[in-house]
Amino acid sequence: MLFGLVCLTFVISNIAPSDPAALAAGPDAGRSQIEQVRRDYGLDKPLHEQFMRYVTDLVRGDFGRSIATGRPVATDLARYFPATLELVILAMLMGVLLGVPLGVFAALRKDGPADHLTRIFAVSGIALPPFWFGLLLQLAFAAWLGLLPTSGRLSVFTEPPDGITGLLLLDSLLHGDFVLFREALSYIILPAIVLSLPCLASILRVNRSEMLEALRMDYIVAARAHGVTPWRLVMVHALKNAMLPTLAIIGLRWGWMMSSTVLVETVFDWPGIGLYAVSSAIAGDFKPVMGVTLIIGLNFMIANLIVDLLYGVLDPRLRRA
């Protein structure tokens, strides 16, 4: 799958109408200068030679060099990826910690007012465009109420802590700087809410549906007849089986959230790989776009592998198969 993604990104970058050599040479460069840049970057070689060089460099961890900035793409990805990872982790935690309990709550009150409200919320969460919802939150909490900042990761007057993990919230806690933690949290909360909403809604819908099915199973009826307490019946017996399909949607949503950062980071000016990809695409610099695409694809595959392994934890039958 990863090799297929490498092929796809390479083909798309080479059929794009822009000329990366002309971009790197600058607007005032002559034809001879552009051709020299083309030779320097290997863009004058046949496509199959460019592709073999590209794959060989990827194996060594070399994503190429940004034509717009002149820096190695791997260096830029190492700089911007922690911000995106922190945003996605927080959004995923919000989606799971709210989506699963709300799904159980809605299933236990099937067709009641609470169930109808949660279903309306779930449909709205999936249907709302992230960029539009983000602008609404900026207007409400930043422009009108003045409670939260509109963009960025920290104030321009705040010095970030020494990088341990690259995750500001975690690094500030490791340094014992709770003032910095509160500031970093105030900057990340709005983009995390926007990014988590579709994830939360999907988890809620799937978990509700699976809980309803699990509660009708014969083993639940038998456990209830044997006097198992309602709490243990729901939280141990039913929820454990309902979590199998929920895990699948969590794995899928992790990958989708990584790709959704392109919109969310652009709206909130969040300095992650999504904003980096948009800026590079606007400039016609496709090496960074290809690097970001591969990183997102790799995260998608790793998330699905972890989900497959967790299936065996929840269902012992899979370990015996």
- Domain at 238, CATH number: 1.10.3720.10
The answer to whether position 65 is within a domain reads: no
pLDDT of residue 320: 64
The answer to whether position 43 is within a domain reads: yes
Tell whether 179 and 314 lie within a shared domain: yes
Tell whether 154 and 286 lie within a shared domain: yes
Tell whether 25 and 120 lie within a shared domain: no
The answer to whether position 26 is within a domain reads: yes
Span 42-93, pLDDT tens digits: 777 777 888 888 888 888 888 888 877 778 999 999 999 999 999 999 999 9
Region 20-45: what's the mean pLDDT?
71
Mean pLDDT score across all residues of the chain: 85
Domain range for 221? 73-320
Tell whether 153 and 247 lie within a shared domain: yes
Tell whether 7 and 96 lie within a shared domain: no
Query: Angle, to 10 degrees, between the axis of helix 286-314 and the axis of helix 2-15?
Result: 160
The answer to whether position 28 is within a domain reads: yes
The answer to whether position 37 is within a domain reads: yes
Using CB atoms within 10 Å of the CB of residue 35, give its burial: 0 to 12 exposed, 13 to 18 middle, 19+ buried.
middle
pLDDT of residue 191: 94
Q: What's the pTM value of the predicted model, to 2 decimals?
A: 0.86
Number of domains the chain contains: 2
Tell whether 275 and 311 lie within a shared domain: yes
The answer to whether position 8 is within a domain reads: yes
- pLDDT tier at 188 (50, 70, 90 boundaries)? very high
Write the DSSP symbol of residue 163. P
Tell whether 146 and 212 lie within a shared domain: yes
pLDDT of residue 91: 94
Using CB atoms within 10 Å of the CB of residue 226, give its burial: 0 to 12 exposed, 13 to 18 middle, 19+ buried.
exposed
pLDDT of residue 69: 76
Contact in structure between 153 and 185 (CB atoms under 8 Å) = no
pLDDT of residue 265: 92
pLDDT of residue 19: 65
Span 124-167, pLDDT tens digits: 888 888 888 999 999 998 888 888 898 888 888 888 887 788 88
